[in-house]
């Protein structure tokens, strides 16, 4: 490949993926509400589109032997390692979400099923009297602990994210294949998507991630991503002070509704209770 061809390949591949990131990120900024399920689906779709475009740039019109030569012999394995860590994060998130939903449904139905089988008067866990409250509390604690056992005890979301961008360095000019920049763009988008998912849904050990990873501001495609980072990081820091569950909009609505129900139950008194007092 001649020098002019290499230069053309570099600008074409960088422009294609960079333009896709710019357009998609600007759409995400204007999309509301931020950090909702629909927004996160759009975010993942953006990453998958970038990945598809990168694969096209990597394969089409290129000598396969270049992948085994510097710098691609280092950059491609590093990209694959980031992809494995990203899959690990997604796998842990899905398992925890499935387990949490299963535990919630079990807690809502188990008491009614037990009472129905025994033919006893129908009562609910928050309305029972006697020592059954202790049993319910113990069951809830057990369900909570089981959520942490889905992944290894030493597994850490923050360590996974940090490992993904610890060796992520913006390329300099003069790279012969024209692929160092697309690899960097795709890797940056991948890390950002995983960071946003961890911010949205609580997971094991994510301390320190509210301070987002840095993308050089002089890169034209990075401006929109940086703007999203700053908005998410600001919300994350606010929620950390309140010990909130996560930034996912639907989770926050559930959290507020649950808190309202607790406040209602705590402040409610039966007429007989007021007379006794």
Q: Would you say residue 270 lies in a domain?
A: no
pLDDT at 144 over 50: no
The torsion defined by the Cα of 112, 114, 116 and 120, in degrees rounded to 10, comes to -100
The residue range of the domain holding 161 is 3-265
Question: What's the mean pLDDT in 40-57?
Answer: 89
Tokens of 209: 């991630």
Whole-number Å distance between alpha carbons of 72 and 113: 60
- What would the pLDDT profile of 119-130 be if each residue is shown by its tens digit? 444 443 444 334
pLDDT of 137 reads 43
| pLDDT > 70 in the chain, percent | 71
Q: Would you say residue 273 lies in a domain?
A: no
Residue 189: CB atoms within 10 A of its CB come to 25
Q: Would you say residue 272 lies in a domain?
A: no
Displacement of CA 249 from its chain's centroid (Å): 13
Contacts of 225 (CB under 8 A, 6+ apart): 21, 25, 188, 189, 192, 215
Question: What's the mean pLDDT in 182-211?
Answer: 86
* Bond from prior residue into 206 cis (ω within 30 degrees of 0): no
70 dihedral zone (left: phi>0; alpha: psi -120 to 50; beta):
beta
Q: Would you say residue 67 lies in a domain?
A: yes
Q: Would you say residue 71 lies in a domain?
A: yes
- What would the pLDDT profile of 227-264 be if each residue is shown by its tens digit? 899 999 998 888 877 766 689 898 889 888 888 988 88
Domain count, the chain: 1
Q: Would you say residue 210 lies in a domain?
A: yes
Is the CB of residue 197 less than 8 Å from the CB of residue 89? yes
Could you write out the DSSP letters of every residue in 170-189? PPPTT-SSS-HHHHHHHHHH
Tokens of 122: 């129908």
pLDDT greater at residue 85 or residue 268: 85
| Of the candidates 233, 236, 186, 228, the residue with the CA atom closest to the CA atom of residue 58 | 186
| Of the candidates 19, 119, 8, 105, the residue with the CA atom closest to the CA atom of residue 62 | 8
- What would the pLDDT profile of 5-28 be if each residue is shown by its tens digit? 544 454 555 666 777 777 777 788
Q: Would you say residue 114 lies in a domain?
A: yes
pLDDT of 63 reads 79
Whole-number Å distance between alpha carbons of 208 and 258: 27
Q: Would you say residue 274 lies in a domain?
A: no
DSSP state of 64: G
pLDDT greater at residue 190 or residue 174: 190
């Amino acid at each position: 490949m001649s020098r002019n061809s290499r230069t053309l390949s570099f600008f074409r591949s960088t422009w294609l993926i960079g333009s896709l990131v710019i357009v998609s990120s600007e759409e995400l900024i204007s999309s509301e509400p931020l950090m909702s399920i629909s927004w996160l689906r759009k975010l993942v779709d953006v990453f998958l589109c970038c990945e598809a475009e990168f694969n096209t740039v990597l394969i089409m019109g290129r000598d396969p032997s270049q992948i085994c030569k510097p710098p691609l012999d280092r950059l491609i394995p590093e990209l694959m390692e980031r992809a494995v860590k990203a899959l690990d994060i997604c796998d842990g998130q899905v398992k925890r979400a499935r387990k949490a939903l299963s535990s919630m449904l079990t807690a809502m139905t188990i008491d009614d099923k037990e009472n129905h089988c025994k033919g006893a008067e129908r009562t609910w866990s928050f309305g029972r009297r006697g020592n059954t409250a202790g049993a319910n509390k113990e069951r809830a604690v057990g369900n909570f602990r089981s959520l942490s056992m889905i992944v290894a005890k030493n597994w850490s979301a923050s360590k996974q994210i940090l490992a993904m961008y610890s060796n992520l360095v913006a390329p300099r000019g003069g790279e012969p294949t024209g692929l160092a920049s697309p690899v960097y763009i795709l890797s940056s988008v991948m890390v950002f998507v995983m960071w946003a998912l961890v911010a949205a849904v609580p997971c094991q050990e994510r301390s320190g991630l509210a301070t987002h990873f840095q993308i050089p501001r002089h890169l034209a495609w990075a401006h929109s991503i940086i703007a999203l980072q700053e908005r998410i990081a600001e919300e994350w820091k606010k929620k950390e002070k309140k010990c909130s569950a996560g930034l996912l909009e639907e989770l926050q609505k559930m959290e507020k509704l649950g808190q309202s129900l607790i406040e209602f139950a705590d402040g409610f008194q039966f007429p007989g209770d007021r007379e006794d007092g």
